[in-house]
Each structure stands twice: as C-alpha cells, then as structure tokens.
Structure 1
Amino acid sequence: MSRMLRGLRIWRAVLTFLLFLWWDSQAWTYRGGPTPERRAARQQRRARWLTAELLQLGSAFIKFGQLLSARPDILPAGWVAELASLQDSVPAFPFEQVQTVLEEELGPRCAEVIDLDPVPLGAASLAQVHRASLRSGRQVVLKIQRPGLDTLFRLDLEVMQQVAAVLQRHPSWGRGRDWPAMARECRRVLLRELDFRVEAQYAARFRQQFLDDERIRIPAVIWEQSTRRVLCLDYLPGIKVNDREALVEAGVDPSAVAEIGAASYLKQLVRFGFFHADPHPGNLAVASDGALIYYDFGMMGLLSDGLRRRLGSMVRAAAARDSAALVDEMQAAGVISKEIDVGPVRRLVRLMLNEALTPPFSSNVIDKLSGDLYDLVYGQPFRLPVELIFVMRALSTFEGVGRSLDPAFSLVGIAKPYLLPLMTSSGSGSNDLFNELGRQVGALSSRAAALPRRLDESLERLEQGDLQLQVRLGESDRQFRRMTLAQQSIGQSVLLGCLALSAAIVGASVRPLWALLPAAAAVPVGMGWFQMQVRMRRDQRLEQLPGSNR
C-alpha cells in the first residue's frame, strides 16, 4: 500500500508540473497580455514551486533536481537557475540511529571513534555530518548515511522510469529526446552517490591535485573508518566563503580569496580535467590564514581529452568571434544536430559572442554568457554535454562569489593565463598551434588545386543544361512556415471545439459517461495544439532578434 501511495504522490507532482507548463504557454492566462516581464515572473514562481515540490518528495528527487539543472535544453533558463541553487536541508535523524549505523558499518573499529558530537554540523537528504575524535587524537568528521535510504531510492527510481517511458511515447515530448536514457543515467548517478567509497576516491584524487598548493586545502580521507555508508574525513574548520564581514574580522583579504577560488577552479578545468561540480558557498570555506577549503565530493566532473581538445577549438573560434567556425566545432562535437539549418543558430551565436565578448567586460560576463547559452539551447536542436553545463554553472558560481567579496572582481582577467593552453589546442605546447596552421594551409591548397576541375565540371553541366540553381529567400521561407503553422493551428482549434461540443452534448444526454470518449480524444489534440503554439511563439521571438532580417 505504501508503494502505491508513493507512486500516486509522484505522479500527482508530474501531472501538476505538465499542467503548469501548458497553462503558462496560453496568452489568455496573463492579465493584460503576456509581456516578457509577466512571463519571467510566472516562470520564477513555477520554478520555486518545482524546487519546493522536489524537496518534499525527498532524497532521490532532490538529487534529480540537481541533475535536471544541468539540462537547459529541457527546461527554460529561469527554471534551470532556480534548480541550480537547490541545496537540500532537511531535519536531522536521531542520534541513536547514527550510533546504530556506525556500529553496523564499522564493527569493532567503531571503538576508535570517541567524543562523537550528538549535534550534527549539518544534515542533508542523503546523510548528516558529525564531528568526532579518534583515539589517536585526530580530529575528524563523519558523514553518515540516512537509514533505509537505499530502499526508498530504488522505489523512487522505479517510478522515474515509468514517467520517462510515458513521456517518450508522446509524439511531441519524445521527439529529439531520449527520456528513458535520461532516467537510466539518473539511476546510475544516484545509486553511485549512495556508495560513500566512491566519494572517498573522488576526495583523495582531488586532494592529490593540490598537494603542492598551500592556498588550497582538501580534507584527507581516513580509509580505516570509511565504508559504503560512512565517510571519515579530517576536520578542517573555516569561515563560509561568502561571509565577507567575518573574513575581514579575521584579517583575511576577500579579494585574495576570490582570486584564489577562481584560479583554483580554472586549474581544475585546464590542467587536470577533474573538477568539483557543485561549488556553491556551502561547500567552500576559508581557513584562518586565507587558504580556500573544499568540502563535499559527491558530485565531481570529468572532462575527457577529446572534449578538452574540442573546447580548445571552441575557445579559439570564440576569441576570433568566428560564429561559423564555432557552430562547425559544436556540430563536430555533437552539441548541435547536423541535420538542421544552421543559419538561425549561427545568427544567435554571433549575437551572443558580440554581446559577451565586447570590451569593456562586465563583472558578470560568465553569468550573462551562461544565461545566453541556456536561452539558446532551450527548445533548440542542442545537446550540451552535462560536464560543460557543470563547468558553466561552477564558473558562474565562482563569479558570483567573487563579486560578493570584491566588486571589482573580473573572472575574464584571471582566466587569460589559463585559457592560453586551450588557445594552443590541447595545451601541450606551441607545436599544436603550428600544426593547426599547417593543417589549415594544407586544406586551403587542396581546395585551390581542385578549383579548375570543379569550374570545368560546372561549365560542362551548364552547357548540357544539367546545372540547377537553388535560390533560398529567408523571408519567404519564414512566411511560408508561419502560414503552414497557422493553418495547422486553426485546424486543431476547430477539432478541439468540435470535441468539446460533442462532450457537452453527450454529457447532457441520458448516458453522460459517454462524454468521456470525446474528452479523452481531445487530450492528444490539445497537446498537439499546445506544441504548435510554442513553435509559433519561438519563431516569433527569433524574428524579433536584432539582425534577424539580415
């Protein structure tokens, strides 16, 4: 019975969420008309509702919301921004259960833990953290998993799979998306987070990267006291990174902290390719001597060598403001589908580059750039790698923290020496740059050598009457597409009206239950009409962009 009630609770939240999306897309639901300000305000309210709903649904859905915040191709930018700030904070479970878990996991080794503080330092959906000491005198913290979490996780993930299967069968929602694959990936990531031994390996690897940097501190893992449900780390106290007043009182320069944080993250990306994917202020602290402390290593990102090389090509194209080359690189990386018309996409990329990369740079250039990127990919044929979204989100977080510590903070200025290796391809030296120039010269010479042959073939086809000239008028294409969508929308509106009238007539007859048939038939028609309205409004927004008639 409890499984059924849990499933119904989840499905109610899903259906309410879909109803909100449909309601917000209707112009007549906005008093005074759907202005951009009214749409943004309503989206913010909906995003807050979704965040609160995920918190109420519990552990698995809190983590699901954090993963969903890395998919701006599914949700609008306002929803993504709200979910990105999702930090689970739930009541602590009783101290007796803490002691029970420790005894079950550590066995005889539990005797090594003394002075266990019954009041937790923090509590979250997966675990809570207690300060303790070891018999050796070592000060530690113990991250202890909530009891019974594994069973609840598996039940929630099973319902997620059912929801994904239903969404995939829908003709519009399933187009271009693989919901079951997303659910499987979510299952893999969430079940992995339940194993604290994985987080211990992440923490050890991350600490190894900064052993030679005195400005960065990562707590060491005590392996003897760590298991699948218990993680034991060194206790490293510090001041919360965004508490500027406390930093000043402690004699720490906030501007230096901002620079250390940004530099450390850029080093993670460019030099190591292994980075902290959840660097919100709750996971960052500052030691008394000004060193930056990282906490919580459950969510880490890994940039493959191939993606790092592709990012290098994208950085070079962006620095040159070559929108065509940038779009080509994005297609080669699989970020953009190769079957689409890249003209509108190239125009949007050019506008984004001109706004974000034109001096003087604003203090929140990364935040604006990531916002533009999220607006660009939503509803478009983009499939951004999750790692890239985590990179943009983390950089934006550091930028916000830096501005709170130092109003003159500029991430672009700090990033220059770290972007130079990317500018020379994969960062292995200047030879890569010469190799790239040589490749481009070779490609240019090949095209030049083939030019006479291609010209001769074209003249021959012209003489034979086989040469066809295709002229594409962008404005005519847009008008034709608008007319087609309008005709389809009118047809669906008439059909919806007929079905509604049929349901009303049958409902007033002696057999009112038969009214469910036309009402049920109206559901898929209404969904198709809703998708049509979204496409028409999206095309209208694209045409209103500056330079859309060029």
Structure 2
Amino acid sequence: MAIASVGVTGLAKASAGFLTELPGTVIRAARVASVSLGYAVVFGAATLGARLRRRRWAGEGEHLASLFISLGPSYIKIGQLLSTRRDLLPERVCTALGRLTDAPPPPRRARLEGLLRRAYRGQEWPFVEFDWTPVATGSIATIHRAVTRDGQQVAVKVRRPGIDRVMRRDYQLTAAAMSAAERLPWLRSMPMKLMHAQVGGAILRQLDLMAECQALDDLRANLTEFSWIRIPAPLPELCSEDVLVMEYVEGLVRAAPESLSENVRNVAARRVMLTVYEMLFVDGLVHCDLHPGNLYINDDGSVVILDAGFLIQLPEPVRASFSDFFINLAMGNGPLCAEIIIESAAGTADGCDLSGFRADLTELVREATGVRSIEFNLATFAGRLFNLQRRFGIYPAPEFAFPLLSLLVVEGIVQSLDPKLDFQAEAMPVLRRRNMPRTSVG
C-alpha cells in the first residue's frame, strides 16, 4: 500500500519555514478572531431577540454555514462533517450546513488557467475540451469536465490557488493552541500535540492531489469484489500535486433519502456500512470524509465514492485493536474492551485508577449491548468513552481518532437511509472474515 500512516512528520512538514510564514500566520489569526467575534455578536443578538419574543431563531444554520465559509477550507470541512449528523443537530441546521459541499465560490478563470498551464508546462496541453465552469466546487478544489486528446471524458480536480498557504497557517494556529492546552493542569499529561500532528497532518495531506491519485487506485483495488460500488479510475500520467484527472462518472444526482424507495434505502444503508467495515476491519483503511458531496446513492442502491483525499492507512496494531474493541462491544464483553483501551493507550496519568476505569467501561458496554439499533448512538457512546478516558487519565493512541471519525460521519448518512439498521450486527460478518479477534483477557 502506498498510503503512508500519518505521523509527526505532518508537524515537521507544516512547521517548515515557520519564521518566514509568521507574518502571514499572525494576519490569519487576526482574521479568524475578528470574523468569529463578529459572528458571535450576531448569534448572541439574534438568539437573545428570539428568546425575548419567545420564538425559536430560524437562521442559525445559515449563519453558521456563512461563518464556516468566511473562515475558510479547514472550517468548511468541519461544517461538512457536522451536516451529516441529523440525529444530533436540528434538521434546519444540517440542511444549511449540507450546502457547504458546493458553497465556496470558484476561483477566477485566470487563476485556474495559470495553475493548470504551470502544471502541464513543458508538455502538450492534454485536453481538446475543458469546461472552465466547475461542475462542483469544494473547499480545497474545483471539479471540471474535460475531454482528453484520445477522446476520454474526464473529471479534472484542480486545487484552489493559494489554498495550501491558508491551510498551513490554520495548522500552525491550531498547533500553537494544542501546545498551550498541554500546559493546562487537567490536560498536562494528554498528548495534545501528538494528536494534533496526526489529525492535522492528515487534513493537510488532502492538499496533495498526487497522493489522492494513488489513494483512489488503492481503494479501487481493495473494494474490487463489490460490484455495486464504483470509484472513478485516475489517470496518473495527467496528475500532479495540484491536479487530479480521473474518469467522469455520468448521471450523478444528490438524491435526498426520502426520494428513494424504502427497499433502496435499506439496501444502500447496508452497502455503505459493509464498505466502511471492509475498509476499517480488513484493509485498515479509514475514509474520514464520506459526506454527501463525496458519497452518492443511485436509485438502484449502488454506491459511488468520488473522493479519496482524506484516506488514512492505520498501523496494523491500531487496526487490530480497534477491530477487537468493536467485536467485543457487540458481544457485550466490557472487561476485554477495557483491557484493549488500556493496552493501546498512548499513556496514562500518574496514579491512574485502572480498576475504576475497568468497572465504569464495563458498565458503559453493558448499557450499549443489546439495545435496539435505533436507540444506539455512536456519537453519544464515543462521547461517554472519551469522558471516561479523560476522567481516569487514559490517553488513547491518536490513530484511534480516525476510525471513530469515519464511523461518526457515515453513521449520520446511514441513519437517514435506515434508522433501524443494527450497526453492531452488520459488522460481525466482516469481523469474522478477518483474523479471529481476541475475545478473552490475557
């Protein structure tokens, strides 16, 4: 597999040239602070006014989406992920945030053309047709329809000019925040900088479209046995760090779940979960960005994945530990779930009460096992798990954030398709096909 595990190298890479970037980073920090403050005033005034009139303010979703757009791509990504959680956020807020998949206006044609001409400098222009009006606009890139010199219809993903500087400055700002957080007494032992390097480095990796080209190839190879899933094939000879060229998928429509028949929704929900479980438990791959702009459901229940920018290869010990935790959660084996968390932790606080943690996690697993799927909420479970770890001073391996993020994102989509789907039961066939998991302590 060519996809590298994300490590502290992301921190070193993003920090290179920090002194020369410092003025730009300071300006970026000032902009983030001023924009956030301005929206806080608007939110506060509107909320207060609505309460005084004893009404609910209906504009919070639109204002929240506008805030994310104003802050830039790193924050738009957050909004896109939040838009999938209709089980946690009001419908009107998720609907507004859902528009972030196409919300950012495209760059001017002159800037796009300049970037593409530089990308293909020294070689023949590879397209006989190129539509400069994008068919889709994302926070990091725009997608254009084109025809190659040999007549193939392709989608050309072009990184937004200058977006790498903005995202690297955001990374530096959040890195500084994590360094400050580690000095707080209740967070002093928690590996905040390491966790930021892992997650932030993975987000920055989305800037490298040549890496995404390889990720698409890897994802296609791993999921080739599923005839009902389509992933566009890249054209590596036309790809670079700034440009990704792949086959064009015709007829994509972002259908609302209610527009599909109940049978199609049920089939699609199981197929999406099977795809995610196959990646997590068998291949050790994590797709952390399966929001509706990247995941399409056709009216026959087939699935299309268009993007592989946020694809992470888990280290084998992390894949095995996460798989073991999940299957023992489904089996109600709380004591072993606790042991897996303890053994895979990045560290523990001085005087950590491991016996207390084992008892409380066993109780949490007991409550989550055997409940109806419609009553099980992964976000709530993960929140309680993280709270237990924080309270007892058990700090998880940073890589554990990725499979949880993947499941949290896709859970919102799947529940909108089939709220009765049993997440734990659907995982069991996949878990049984891989190496037998550990199911006893010791």
Change (3 A) 1:425 1:6: closer
Change (3 A) 1:385 1:366: same
- Counterpart code for 1:204: D
Asked if residue 142 in structure 1 is aligned to residue 142 in structure 2, the reply is: no
Query: 1:217 aligns to what?
Result: 230
Query: 1:234 aligns to what?
Result: 247
Kept in 2, the 8 Å contact 1:240–1:284? The answer is no
TM-score normalised to structure 2 length: 0.74
Structure with the bigger RCO (C-alpha within 8 Å, sep 6+) is: 2
TM-score normalised to structure 1 length: 0.61
Change (3 A) 1:3 1:362: closer
Q: Please give the per-residue CA displacement for 1:59-79, whole angstroms capped at 9, x wherever unaligned.
A: 34545x58999xxxxxxx99x
Query: 1:461 aligns to what?
Result: none
Q: Give matches, 1:239-278, under 5 Å.
A: 239-240=252-253, 243-248=256-261, 253-278=264-289
Separation (CA, whole Å) in 1 of partners of 2:263 and 2:218:
28
Tell me how far 1:252 sits from its aligned partner. Answer: 8.0
Q: Please give the per-residue CA displacement for 1:444-481, whole angstroms capped at 9, x wherever unaligned.
A: xxxxxxxxxxxxxxxxxxxxxxxxxxxxxxxxxxxxxx
Tell me how far 1:298 sits from its aligned partner. Answer: 0.8
Tell me how far 1:354 sits from its aligned partner. Answer: 2.1
Kept in 1, the 8 Å contact 2:229–2:302? The answer is yes
Asked if residue 291 in structure 1 is aligned to residue 302 in structure 2, the reply is: yes
SS of 1:136's partner is: coil
Asked if residue 324 in structure 1 is aligned to residue 346 in structure 2, the reply is: no
Percent identity, please.
23
SS of 2:340's partner is: helix
Change (3 A) 1:276 1:14: same
Tell me how far 1:194 sits from its aligned partner. Answer: 1.8
> Which of these residues, 10, 28, 41, is aligned with residue 6 of structure 1?
28
Tell me how far 1:284 sits from its aligned partner. Answer: 0.9
Query: 1:201 aligns to what?
Result: 214
Q: Give matches, 1:486-505, under 5 Å.
A: none
Tell me how far 1:236 sits from its aligned partner. Answer: 1.2
Q: Please give the per-residue CA displacement for 1:266-311, whole angstroms capped at 9, x wherever unaligned.
A: 1112221113221122211134654211011110122322123323
Separation (CA, whole Å) in 1 of partners of 2:412 and 2:116:
38
Query: 1:121 aligns to what?
Result: 135
Separation (CA, whole Å) in 1 of partners of 2:179 and 2:38:
18
Kept in 2, the 8 Å contact 1:161–1:183? The answer is yes
Change (3 A) 1:320 1:268: closer
Separation (CA, whole Å) in 1 of partners of 2:180 and 2:415:
44
Query: 1:454 aligns to what?
Result: none
Separation (CA, whole Å) in 2 of partners of 1:48 and 1:380:
39
Query: 1:303 aligns to what?
Result: 314
Query: 1:475 aligns to what?
Result: none
- Counterpart code for 2:145: R
- Counterpart code for 1:311: F
Asked if residue 106 in structure 1 is aligned to residue 120 in structure 2, the reply is: yes
Query: 1:535 aligns to what?
Result: none
> Which of these residues, 291, 316, 325, is aligned with residue 280 of structure 1?
291
SS of 1:125's partner is: coil
Separation (CA, whole Å) in 1 of partners of 2:79 and 2:135:
22
Change (3 A) 1:159 1:371: closer
Query: 1:401 aligns to what?
Result: 413
Gaps of 5+ in 1: 19-30, 32-40, 70-76, 427-432, 444-550
Separation (CA, whole Å) in 2 of partners of 1:199 and 1:402:
25
SS of 1:224's partner is: helix
Change (3 A) 1:394 1:6: closer
Tell me how far 1:127 sits from its aligned partner. Answer: 1.2
Query: 1:417 aligns to what?
Result: 429
Aligned length: 394
- Counterpart code for 1:205: D
Gaps of 5+ in 2: 1-22, 41-50, 83-87
Change (3 A) 1:167 1:99: same
Asked if residue 373 in structure 1 is aligned to residue 395 in structure 2, the reply is: no
Change (3 A) 1:120 1:303: same
Kept in 2, the 8 Å contact 1:131–1:141? The answer is yes
- Counterpart code for 2:215: Y
Tell me how far 1:56 sits from its aligned partner. Answer: 2.2
SS of 1:131's partner is: strand
Kept in 2, the 8 Å contact 1:103–1:110? The answer is no
Q: Give matches, 1:186-197, under 5 Å.
A: 188-197=201-210
Kept in 2, the 8 Å contact 1:204–1:221? The answer is yes
Separation (CA, whole Å) in 2 of partners of 1:51 and 1:379:
33
Q: Please identify the structure whose Cα radius of gyration is greater.
A: 1
Tell me how far 1:12 sits from its aligned partner. Answer: 5.5
Tell me how far 1:202 sits from its aligned partner. Answer: 0.7
Change (3 A) 1:303 1:86: farther
Separation (CA, whole Å) in 1 of partners of 2:264 and 2:308:
26
Change (3 A) 1:322 1:184: closer
